[in-house]
Amino acid sequence: MAENTSTEYEPAALESIPVSQTPLERFEEYLLSRGLRKTEQRRYLVEQVFSRHEHFDADQLLDQLPRKGAPNYVSRPTVYRTLKEFVDAGLLRRFELNGRSVYEHDYGYPEHDHFYCVKCNTLTEFQSEQLVLLRDSIARQYRFRVRSHRLIIQGICDECSRRNNQRRQQDRV
Amino acid sequence: MAENTSTEYEPAALESIPVSQTPLERFEEYLLSRGLRKTEQRRYLVEQVFSRHEHFDADQLLDQLPRKGAPNYVSRPTVYRTLKEFVDAGLLRRFELNGRSVYEHDYGYPEHDHFYCVKCNTLTEFQSEQLVLLRDSIARQYRFRVRSHRLIIQGICDECSRRNNQRRQQDRV
DNA sequence: ATCGTTGCAAACGTTTTGCATAAGG
DNA sequence: CCTTATGCAAAACGTTTGCAACGAT
């Protein structure tokens, strides 16, 4: 069963990078460059995946799609195959959380990292230029050529901390 | 099939933290505190897991253990159950890489992070005090209570870079 | 004697595959 | 018309579970 991996997304904190092409345009360019085909399923999946800015896994995406028989139905294998292509095309980034693959927008979206609250299972994004500088400086010391990184800080988010404190104070009464 | 997730371990760079108890002693204390039992399988698995300092997954550990019928055989479910206990007991830390759970020593071992070379699939450890300070500073800004973190820097390690350069130079001849 | 532990087999949840049919170029 | 893409069913993969027999306390 899919766990709650929804994003507390803060529009003020993380601005989108302006891009010249829409995700669909970019994907179609990618398809062309590889001799792959524009299909209705791929077009529809780009649309669906970029209609919300949230982390999601394959099941959450499937839940959001039309059921079998309905128009625009896309089968489970095709969803998995297409997610892989989105990653190859640079549209999505994939990471693993609690044994499942989680996807997030990559194209047109700035580099960022995550807090993961172990109480409410929520991923929250943050950006730190310093972190990237430090990463590159460490990598230089080890002569490691950085392609990307993945940082998840686990702990308890502010809301969950407050919720706990309130309850603790109530308990005392 | 298990991929190569072996560690390039640099003894000079990462010193063990001196500890008063052996891993086995610590685990037995944990068992006692929870009303769990000392068994031959658990004792043997502590021994095996701490006989090498390397990252490993369940399959790699099973490969290292005696086969069915041989003395000290431990079944697959018991290995999984015990790895979970080792994590609970603070002996091991678990993370996910390429869709499988990977374990590393935690007890008596300093906090560190990893480079992951996408060419040779090798994890290399590094330590950075600055990184921990920066992590805590960022978390403070977001009022996030840090429990731990996981950072993996992906890219290409020095050896693989050199290997590529050599080949490229040969190609030119 | 009690209750946690083990091994077995079978299930699980996620992701991938082989294959026949459909459809894009 | 050729080749890629799709949907289906089934397999694969790592991991977990129910249960009866076993063994530690």
Q: Which two tokens stand for residue A58?
A: 């394959």
- pLDDT for A135: 98
How big is the CA angle at B113 (ends B106 and B143), to the nearest 5 degrees? 90
The pLDDT value given to residue B12: 45
Q: In degrees, to the nearest 5, what angle opens at C-alpha B163 toward C-alphas A141 and A144?
A: 20
- Give A47-54's long-range contacts (Cβ < 8 A, gap of 24+): A49/A23, A49/A86, A49/A91, A49/A92, A49/A103, A49/A105, A50/A23, A50/A24, A50/A91, A50/A105, A53/A7, A53/A9, A53/A105, A53/A109, A54/A6, A54/A7, A54/A9
- Does residue A156 sit in helix, strand or coil? strand
Cα-Cα end-to-end distance for chain A: 38
Domain boundaries, chain A: 20-109, 110-173
Mutate to test the interface with A, among B5, B102, B118, B151 (most CBs of A within 10 A): B151
Residues 126-165 of A with CB under 7 A from strand D: none
Report the mean per-residue pLDDT for chain A.
88
First to last CA, chain B: 39
On the question of pLDDT at B77 being above 70, the answer is: yes
Q: Which of A96, A101, A142 sits opposite B126 (nearest CB)?
A: A142
Strand C close residues, chain B 48-87, CB < 7 angstroms: 68, 73-78, 81-82
% of chain A exceeding 70 in pLDDT? 84
Cβ separation A139–B115 shorter than 8 A: yes
Q: Which two tokens stand for residue A52?
A: 């919300």
Strand C positions with any atom < 7 Å from protein CB? 4-10, 13-18, 23-25
B105: distance to nearest CA of chain A, Å? 19
CA A49/CA A33 separation, integer angstroms: 22
The residues with which A7 forms a beta bridge, in sequence order, are A123
Nucleotide nearest to B73 (CA to C1'): C7
CB atoms within 10 A of CB B145: 19
* Any B CB within 8 A of A134 CB: yes
For B63-82, what is the mean pLDDT? Answer: 97
- Per-residue confidence (pLDDT) for residue A5, from 0 to 100: 44
Q: What is the pLDDT, as a whole number, of residue A49?
A: 98
Both structure tokens of A7: 């994003």
How many Å apart are CA B65 and CA B62, to the nearest integer?
Answer: 5
Mean pLDDT of chain B: 89
Pairwise CB contact (< 8 Å): B101 & A96:
no
Residue A124 · residue A157 · CB < 8 Å? yes
Confidence class for position B10, pLDDT limits 50, 70, 90: very low
Tens-digit pLDDT profile for residues A141-151: 999 999 999 99
E-strand stretches of chain B = 7-8, 56-57, 92-97, 100-105, 113-117, 122-126, 145-156
Alpha carbon dihedral A31, A32, A33, A34, in 10-degree steps, equals 50
| A110-173 and A20-109 share a CATH fold | no
A156 touches chain B (CB under 8 A): yes
Band of the pLDDT at A98, cuts 50, 70, 90?
Answer: confident
Per-residue model confidence (pLDDT) at position A2: 42
| Contact between A103 and A6 (Cβ < 8 Å) | no
- pLDDT (mean) for B16-27: 85
* Residue A143 to residue B124, Cβ atoms within 8 A: no
Name the residue with higher pLDDT: B114 or A14: B114
> Given a cut of 90, is residue B4 above it in pLDDT?
no
Look up the protein residue whose alpha carbon has the minimum distance to the C1' of C13: A1
**Taking the alpha carbons of B85, B88, B94, B99 in that order, is the dihedral positive or negative?**
positive
For residue B131, the chain A residue with the least C-alpha distance is A134
Architecture of the CATH domain B20-109 = Orthogonal Bundle (1.10)
What's the confidence (pLDDT) of residue A14? Answer: 62
Hey, what amino acid is at B117? C
- One of 3.60.40.10, 3.30.1490.190, 3.40.50.300, 2.40.160.10 is the CATH number of A110-173, namely 3.30.1490.190
Per residue in B128-172, pLDDT tens?
A: 999 999 999 999 999 999 999 999 999 999 999 998 776 656 555
pLDDT in tens, A50-74: 998 889 999 999 999 999 999 999 9
B71 vs B68: CA distance, rounded Å: 8
Question: What span, in angstroms and rounded, lies between the C-alpha atoms of B10 and B26?
Answer: 26
> How distant is the Cα of A106 from the closest Cα of chain B, in angstroms?
16
Number of helices (H), then strands (E), in chain A: 6, 6
Q: What is the pTM of this model?
A: 0.85
Q: Can you name the residues that pair with B145 across neighbouring β-strands?
A: A156
**Nucleotide closest to B101 measured between CA and C1':** D14
Q: How confident is the model at residue A16 (pLDDT cuts 50, 70, 90)?
A: low
Return the DSSP state at B116: E
Mean pLDDT (whole number) for B62-90: 97
